[in-house]
Structure 1
Amino acid sequence: MPLARELLIDGKDVPALSGRTTEDVNPYTGEVYATVAAAGLEDVTLAVDAADAAFAEWSAFTPFARRAIFLKAADLLDSRTEQVAEIMAHEAGGTRPWAHFNVGLAANILREAAAAITAPRGQVLSAQEEGVLGLAVREPLGVVAAFAPWNAPVILGVRAVAAPLAAGNTVVVKPSEDAPIACGLLVADVLREAGLPDGVLNVVTNAREDAAEIAEALIADSRVRAVNFTGSTGIGRIIGTHAAQHLKPVVLELGGKNAVILLEDADVDYAVDAVTFSVFMNSGQICMSGDRVLVHESLAEEFTRKFAAKVAALQAGDPTHPHTVVGPLITASAAQRVARLVVDAVAKGATVLTGGGQPEGSVHPATVLTNVPQDADLYYAEVFGPVCVVERFSDDATAVVLANATDNGLTCGIITENATHGLNVARRIRTGIVHINDQSVADEPHAPFGGVKASGYGRFGGRWGIEAFSNTRWVTIATQQAHYPF
């Protein structure tokens, strides 16, 4: 029997008022893994009602009481690693190593949020008037609307709510239709068990056909004071537009067309391992995945030969198998989309070094291409699948031009044995994140995470997350009576 989950509103598991449900499908087997409540507009209103009602009490919680909840939630999440691995495999096609990584990082996001709660916040200001003390005080905003994606469901589900809650806000989260349990209900379960009061975190799941209507209603509610969204650039533009129409701040972490650059002083064997991880971890379904591998021409022949051989040996298929690296994409239609990008590139002159061919269900072969022309759709489109393009360059200036030749600007890896050389190149790369002598996929809970250009704006992580979901208020205290001109 499939699992059955309801909405979480005001601390209670409740069905949608309409009684509707929607199916949560296993991407590898095509079987129904769970059914979840399909919220309507009236359910969104009830969720915001609960969050709004809970705000005064939660924002007044002492920092140490709030911190204790986050620390307990982190330990609880760590203890649920096996449960998370099962959920992620059946709901999102995640492999076991990917699930373990999700749990570890998500637990540390909770711990970092706990630390941020009691960190110094605000400033003492100089004042032009004698005897006046000025303060810049950070205060919570109110209700935050959060949108959590499916691809790193536990990491990004936790990230969507951790900083807003830590700052003293209440939250209504709309998890992805493709992983409503892992990126929404599971996260809420852990925080609820850790002692989060009723109404502070509410989860609204929905049917896919209702997604746009639910999102728009949530953002439009006058009691929602800020928004965060992690997902594709296309949907991010819509979310950002809705938020702007209502004059609400928004943090957008969107897609990437990321490059890993192998400078002429790179260690080739290390680069092969690093790039393989960057491209094929979670079957390339990571916003930081390395779509493009830019290789100095002096290393290109050796690197390409060794890289193609390693990729060809990667095990693909069942995500529950302990040795699977390339599991299923989130849907069979997603795998077909990736296949069309490859077919189009080959038809326009690209060379397949390994892989290619048609997917088996939702599993697309690990694929490496070269000689991809600029008129191929793949040249500029984010792949979000197990495919990369290898391209040669002759000097640093050319590598920088190639890396920056995209509307996106999320992350970049620069592999070199010379940190000074790497830093010189990194300073010319237009991304929100860059890793020297490493590949493009990395995340740490205390670091400012986010992109530039079409990869979004605003930052998650550490104090930057707290600042994103709090407001600066100017407060003055006059220690003596002022004199007025009339």
Structure 2
Amino acid sequence: MTAIQSLTFDLRSPSTGLVIAQVSDQGVQEAQDAAERSVTAFQTWRRTTAYFRAGLLRKFFDLMLRDEAEIARLIATEMGKPVSEALGEVRYAAAFIEWYAEEAKRVFGSVVPSQHAGKRLLVTHEPVGPVYAVTPWNFPAAMATRKLAPALAAGCTVILKPAEQSPLTALKMRDLWTEAGGPADTFQVITASDPIGVTQVMMADARIRKVTFTGSTEVGRLLAAQAAPTLKRVSLELGGHAPYLIFEDADIGQAVADVIACKFRNAGQTCVCTNRIYVQRAVAEEFTARLTAAVQALKVGDPLDASTQIGPLVDAQGLEKVQRHVTDALERGAQATTGGAAGEGLYFTPTVLTGVTPDMLVMQEETFGPVAPLLVFDTEEEAVQAANDTEYGLAAYLWTRDLDRAFRVSEQLEYGIIGLNDPVPSTAQAPFGGVKQSGYGREGGPWGLQEYLNTKYLSMTVR
């Protein structure tokens, strides 16, 4: 193996701006070596029994829960999520490991009836092969386990490339997998300040048979194109622009609490956060007043403080985008009923905007910040049309107590995930993913496991 020069990059806390760690800065050579090790490890790992893999995953799950407080503090420190919220993420992340520890034993084959007496037709499933997984910074534990757990359960080896803003959580999970008894090189983490060279190696290597990516639509398109020459299996969870429809029959107090939970967790930096809130005219005034009061009461502060509800944005680029969106809206006639300005460092005051119009940037792009734009609608048809008027289709939400409307609207919304009176619908046993420019493929439940399996058909003549 080629000797590798030891290079590092500084990792800074978005809360304090201080250097919290120096992380190995890996490049092309390290990527090539990781690919070789993953391919070699796959030849053995693929032949292990489902029960063996399930046992290791169960140990991995137990270790995640054992160290949940430590992992939560890592998340809070490296990307700014409030520690109490980060603890919830760790448990959510561990739930995927637990689910796939159980699901590994349920990759059933089948016998297909034949029209010929002398033939037997069998269908089995096999692991796709070595996997390259790329995850974003906003859920450094959960985005990893949503990919890692089903891949390992299926018998695939995994090379995980976490975001450069949040590699510590991935490295910790790798160590826990090793402690659980995970064989060498079945789960590797490659860290890099500039991921382009690393990714090019993985995409060009025909032996890497699967790429799974969560991130922007722009990067997802590039990866899909790069995967084409080697015909890799691809799953993409990309950008979102989630609408939240508040109908006039909603429980306004509960609807406000739900919008807060959906919009402001992780300071609005989640792909399924609502980005535009449509309120029926009859309740718009009351909803706006109560939402404004609730947002004003949110505690902004140190993410390591258990009482903090809103932490910093992850980096200067993220803060600049939020500022640009809010400034554009205010200059075009919107009003901020609360917030509307940046705080110190990478903090942005939780904001509610009224008088928002479809031509504003906040309605055209995913803001990824603590900004709630409100729009008023009159009819159900108008609300559905506005909700679907986007190239994205990841998640959408609605609040109604009318059962007929619940079904009508849910069926018309062009999204992969619908939260009906539910601001946080994601769970390990359910499918997660979008349509249109929000990508393809699903994570979670049996659908997530299928992403890492090939189907093999055996036709046998019996004489």
In structure 1, stretches of 5+ residues that fail to align are 1-8, 10-14, 481-486
Residue equivalent to 2:88: 101
1:145–1:228 contact (8 Å) kept in structure 2: yes
Evaluate the alpha carbon distance shift between residue 213 and residue 317 of structure 1 in structure 2; reply closer, same or farther with a 3 A threshold.
same
Alignment-mate amino acid for residue 184 of structure 2: D
Task: Give the alignment's TM-score, normalised by structure 2.
Answer: 0.97
Partner of 2:229: 245
Q: Which residue of 1 aligns with 2:166?
A: 179
Say if 1:319 and 1:327, in contact at 8 Å, map to a contact too.
Answer: yes
- Asked if 1:474 is matched to 2:457, the reply is yes
* Residue 29 (structure 1) aligned with residue 22 (structure 2): no
**Are residue 371 (structure 1) and residue 355 (structure 2) matched?**
yes
Runs of 4+ in 1 over 6 A off after TM superposition: none
- AA in 2 matched with 1:382: E
Letter of the aligned partner of 2:190 in structure 1?
Answer: V
- AA aligned to 2:191 is T
Contact 2:325 2:362 in 1 (8 A): yes
Q: Which whole-Å CA distance do the structure 2 matches of 1:120 and 1:200 have between them?
A: 20
CA distance in 1, matches of 2:31, 2:383: 48
In 1: Cα distance, 2:214 partner to 2:109 partner: 28
1:146·1:160 contact (CA, 8 Å) conserved in 2? Answer: yes
- Kept in 2, the 8 Å contact 1:144–1:164? The answer is yes
Q: What is the one-letter code of the residue matched to 1:168?
A: G
Change in CA separation of 1:468 and 1:362 when aligned onto 2, cut-off 3 Å: same
Count, aligned residues: 463
AA in 1 matched with 2:123: A
Residue 72 of structure 1 aligns to a residue whose secondary structure is helix
After superposition, the C-alpha distances for 1:180-230 in whole angstroms (9 at most, x for unaligned) are 111x212211211111100111111012xx311211211211210010001
- Code of the residue aligned with 2:454 in structure 1: it is N
Partner of 1:357: 341
The match for 1:206 is: 192
Query: Superposed, which structure 2 residues align to 1:335-414 within 5 Å?
Result: 335-414=319-398
TM-aligned CA deviation for residue 479 of structure 1: 1.7
CA pair 16-175 structure 1, distance change in 2 beyond 3 A: farther
- 8 Å CA contact 1:422–1:437 kept in 2: the answer is no
Q: 2-side partners of 1:16 and 1:379: how far apart?
A: 50
Equivalent residues of 1:419, 1:436 under 8 A apart = no
Partner of 2:176: 190
Matched ranges for 1:317-336 at <5 A: 317-336=301-320
Alignment of 1:266-277 (within 5 A): 266-277=250-261
Contact 1:18 1:40 in 2 (8 A): no
Contact 2:312 2:348 in 1 (8 A): yes
Give the match for residue 159 of structure 1: 146
Quote the Cα distance in structure 1 between the aligned partners of 2:294 and 2:78.
28
What secondary structure sits across from 2:456 in the alignment? strand
Distance 2:326 2:369 in 1: 11
Give, in whole Å, the separation in 2 of the partners of 1:33 and 1:442: 34
Matched, 1:301 2:285: yes
CA positional deviation for 1:308: 0.6
Deviations 1:73-116 (A, max 9, x none): 11110111110121111101011222111111111100111111
| Alpha-carbon RMSD | 1.5
**Which secondary structure does the structure 2 equivalent of 1:427 belong to?**
helix
CA contact (8 A) 1:157 1:187 kept: no
Residue by residue over 1:10-53, the C-alpha shift from the partner in whole angstroms, topping out at 9 and shown as x without a partner, is xxxxx981211111110110111111111111111111111111
Query: What does residue 445 of structure 2 align with?
Result: 462
Aligned position for 1:6: none
Of 46, 49, 52 in structure 1, the residue corresponding to residue 33 of structure 2 is 46
**What fraction of aligned residue pairs are identical, expressed as a percent?**
37
Match of 1:12 in 2: none
Q: Spell out, residue by residue over 1:137-182, the C-alpha distance to the aligned partner (whole angstroms, 9 max, x if none).
A: 1111111100121101111121121111111111111111010111
8 Å CA contact 1:423–1:436 kept in 2: the answer is no
* Distance apart, 1:417 and its partner CA: 1.8
Separation of aligned partners in 2, 1:32 and 1:133: 63
**Contact 1:404–1:430 (Cα < 8 Å) also in 2:** yes
Counterpart residue number, 1:3:
none
TM alignment of 1:1-16, pairs within 5 A: none
Q: What's the secondary structure of 2:310's corresponding residue?
A: coil
- In structure 2, the gaps of 5 or more residues are none
Correspondence for 1:57: 44
Match of 2:54 in 1: 67
